Amino acid sequence: MPKGHAETGWSRNNLKKFFGKSSLIIDESAAFRLNHDVPLVVAEINGSLVKENPPKLIASPNCTTAVLVMALAPLLKHSPIKRAVAASYQAASGAGRTARDGFLKEIETMAKGKTRACGEFPYALAGNIFPQIGRFLESGFTEEEEKVMAETKKILEAPDLAVSATCVRVPVLRGHCLAVWVELEKPLPSGNLAGLYQNFPGITLKEPGAAPLEIAGQGGVSIGRLRRDPLWPNGLSLWVAGDNLLKGAAQNVLQIADLLMTRPEPA
C-alpha cells in the first residue's frame, strides 16, 4: 500500500519550529489530529472551539471524516446518536497527486485493452475497486478506517459513540461518497426526514443522492437517499457526497481561517 501522506511526517518534524514565529497554525495533516490539546475542527460543527480563544495549533480532519461528520452532526440537534456505520467510496485524488496522475495513466492503458497499476495503489484502480486504504492494523481495520472512527468521535465530542467504517477506493477522479446507517436514541420525527438537515450550514439536499461528477468543484456536502431503516429502532439510512479536495481539505482550512480572522478583537 502507499505510504502515509508526506505532509504528516513533515508536520510532526517541523511544525513546532514555527510556533514562535506564527501566532497560530492550521495543519491539514494527520500528525496532531488526535492530540488532546489540539482542536480538530469542521467549521460548521465546532468552529466555536477556535473562535474565542484560538490555540497555537488547529487540526483539520481527514477528507472522509469531514464529509461523514457533516452528515451526522445535524442529527444531534434532534437526538444523541446510538451508533453509526459508514461505507466510503473514495476517489483516487484522496491519495494525492501521484495517485491521481497514475489513475489517469491507467485509464489510458485500459482504453488500449491493457491493465497495469501505474500509481501508488497495490492494484490497478481503473475498472476496479478495493477495500483497503492505508495499512491493515491488528484490529483488522485499515489506517483510514481507524482515522475516520477516532476523528468522528472527537469532532462530535462523543467518545463513547459506537461507530464503524469500511473504506473503499473506487475508480473516480474526484469526490468522496459514503453510505451511512445511523441509529438515534430518540424516535425519528414523523413526516419528511429532510427536516433533520434543513438550515444546517454547508449542506444541500438532493434526491436520490449526488454523484461524484456532480459535487466535484462544489463546496459543502450533499445529502440524499434519506429513508427510515427497517433493521434498527429509530434508524435512518442516507447517502452523503462531498469534494474531497474542497470540504475534505482546502475549503475547511479556509473556513477555519475565516473564523479566526473574523473573531472579535479582545477588549
Catalytic residue IDs: 63, 176
Q: What three-state secondary structure class fits 97?
A: helix
The CA angle 102-117-95, to the nearest 5 degrees, is: 45
CB 167 within 8 A of CB 129: no
Preceding peptide of 201 cis, ω within 30° = no
DSSP 46: H
Tell me the C-alpha to C-alpha distance, in Å, between residue 217 and each of 121, 175, 255. Answer: 24, 9, 16
The CA angle 212-241-89, to the nearest 5 degrees, is: 70
Joined grid coordinates for residue 3: 505510504
Strand-pair category, 81-90 with 57-59: unpaired
Residue type, 132: Q
